[in-house]
Amino acid sequence: MHYKKTAPFDGNAAKAFDLATAALTSLGFRTVARSNAMLEVEGPGMMSSRQSALLGASRIKISHGNRQLDLEAELGGVRRLARFVTWFPLGLSLALAVILSVVFSMTQNKEDTWIFPVAAVACGNAAIWLVAGPLMVRHIHRRTCRDIDTLLQNMVQMGKMDG
């Protein structure tokens, strides 16, 4: 997943890059490269949707030129959480079905009627996550892009300030 954004900019690039560096390094990003015209950082990734949405970006590159700031972000944290909310709940549903099947087969007296509730619970749980997972991913993706846009706008404003 990639994200790109451009903003008009004719301010002090060093001040703008200082703001981005301070904001991102406080979240655990490390500076990969920095010059007068470019800043590139690499992040630790997002492990939870409760973390800062900026952690949805695993790599951010901001460059200054032609009176604009160009931002490119690799959304590796969003991609990782997308895989997690897709596969973990489905695996959990399968494990639930297996465990309940083993328990009921050992405790029930040759009646196979327990199969239907077990299948219903496991399939119902999987169906809920097949709907909820993509909705969660879309929300996380939107939050990450919104916060990246906010960072870029703050950089533009900081670069305009005198002092």
pLDDT confidence of residue 88: 92
pLDDT confidence of residue 106: 83
pLDDT confidence of residue 65: 93
Distances (CA, A) of 70 to 15, 40, 79, 91: 16, 12, 22, 40
CATH number of the domain where residue 51 is located: 3.30.310
Q: Pull the structure tokens for residue 26.
A: 């406080």
Whether 25 and 87 map to the same domain: the answer is no
- Ranges assigned E (strand) in the chain: 2-8, 30-34, 38-42, 59-65, 68-74
pLDDT confidence of residue 41: 98
pLDDT tens over the chain, length 163 residues: 999 999 999 999 999 999 999 999 999 999 999 999 999 999 998 988 889 999 999 999 999 999 999 999 999 999 999 999 889 998 999 998 999 888 888 887 777 778 888 889 899 988 999 899 999 999 999 999 999 999 999 999 999 886 5
What's the rounded Cα separation, in Å, for the pair 45 and 62? 18
pTM summary value: 0.84
pLDDT confidence of residue 138: 95
Whether 86 and 153 map to the same domain: the answer is no
> What burial letters (b/e) apply to 52-70, b meaning 16+ CB within 10 Å?
bbbbbbbbbbbbbeeeebb
Which residue segment(s) compose the domain that 116 sits in? 79-137
- Count the domains in the chain: 2
Whether 94 and 113 map to the same domain: the answer is yes
Whether 63 and 120 map to the same domain: the answer is no
Whether 41 and 97 map to the same domain: the answer is no
Instruction: Residue 74: name the closest of 14, 5, 27, 4 by CA.
Output: 4
Residue 12 near residue 157, CB atoms below 8 Å: no
